[in-house]
């Protein structure tokens, strides 16, 4: 019985030492779900450039102290330490996310503007047109109807992109305790 206990004890020490020194990879998917794995091959290909590699801490990080007035005093062990959100994502991650959302908004605005100009040009063509037969006028009306639908679709895309930039991303930053300044372009 003592040999079994000794064997189990040695195996548990060996396993614990292997787990303690292992790297952990984490990433956030497009739905905002945080994933952790210890094997890089388990990370989907499209998220590999977004993973954050985390190694076990070498030394313990001191906890914040409380002053005599009850205020929290931050003790920084490393002067080059970087602020992170609750999921360990820093300023660069949030700025990239904001840039992506703003780029999408700009693209949606350009698409809407283009569709609107094309629709207005066809409307003008209809107003200016003196059609001798019913066929060309009917074809033009069909094109205008299609363009109107396209303008509505582009307007919906524009509103969704604006919603992400103005409401969704700031709400996520607030929920994850990220600095709101990280969502604004660097000056």
Domain count for the chain, please give it: 2
Answer yes or no: are the C-beta atoms of 18 and 31 closer than 8 Å.
no
120 located within any domain = yes
Range of the domain at 119: 91-183
108 located within any domain = yes
Residue 130 CA to residue 67 CA, distance in Å, equals 84
DSSP 6: H
pLDDT of residue 31: 77
Asked whether residue 179 falls in the same domain as residue 97, the answer is yes
Could you tell me the pTM of the whole model? 0.54
pLDDT of residue 103: 93
The contacts of residue 43 (CB under 8 Å, 6+ apart) are 25, 27, 35, 37, 51
pLDDT of residue 63: 47
Strands 24-28 and 34-37: antiparallel
Asked whether residue 50 falls in the same domain as residue 95, the answer is no
Asked whether residue 167 falls in the same domain as residue 95, the answer is yes
pLDDT of residue 114: 94
74 located within any domain = no
Show pLDDT as tens, one digit a residue, over the chain (187 residues). 677 767 777 777 666 655 555 677 776 777 777 777 777 777 787 777 777 665 555 544 444 544 445 554 444 444 345 788 888 888 888 989 999 999 999 999 999 999 999 999 988 888 887 666 777 888 888 999 999 999 999 999 999 999 999 999 999 888 888 888 888 887 6
Asked whether residue 101 falls in the same domain as residue 39, the answer is no
Asked whether residue 95 falls in the same domain as residue 50, the answer is no
pLDDT of residue 184: 86
């Amino acid at each position: 019985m003592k040999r079994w206990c000794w064997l189990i004890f040695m195996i548990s020490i060996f396993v614990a030492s292997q787990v303690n020194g292992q790297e952990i990879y984490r990433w956030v998917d497009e739905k905002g779900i945080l994933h952790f794995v210890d094997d890089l091959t388990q990370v989907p290909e499209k998220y590999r450039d977004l993973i954050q590699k985390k190694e076990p801490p070498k030394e313990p990080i001191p906890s914040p102290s409380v002053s005599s007035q009850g205020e929290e005093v931050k003790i920084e062990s490393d002067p080059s330490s970087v602020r992170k959100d609750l999921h360990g994502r820093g300023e660069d991650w949030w700025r990239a996310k904001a840039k992506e959302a703003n780029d999408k908004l700009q693209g949606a605005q350009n698409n809407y503007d283009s569709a609107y100009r094309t629709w207005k040009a066809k409307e003008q063509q209809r107003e200016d047109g003196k059609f001798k037969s019913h066929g060309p006028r009917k074809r033009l009306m069909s094109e205008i109807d299609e363009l109107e639908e396209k303008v509505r679709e582009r307007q919906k895309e524009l509103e969704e992109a604006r919603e992400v930039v103005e409401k969704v991303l700031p709400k996520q930053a607030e929920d994850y305790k990220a600095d709101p300044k990280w969502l604004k372009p660097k000056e």
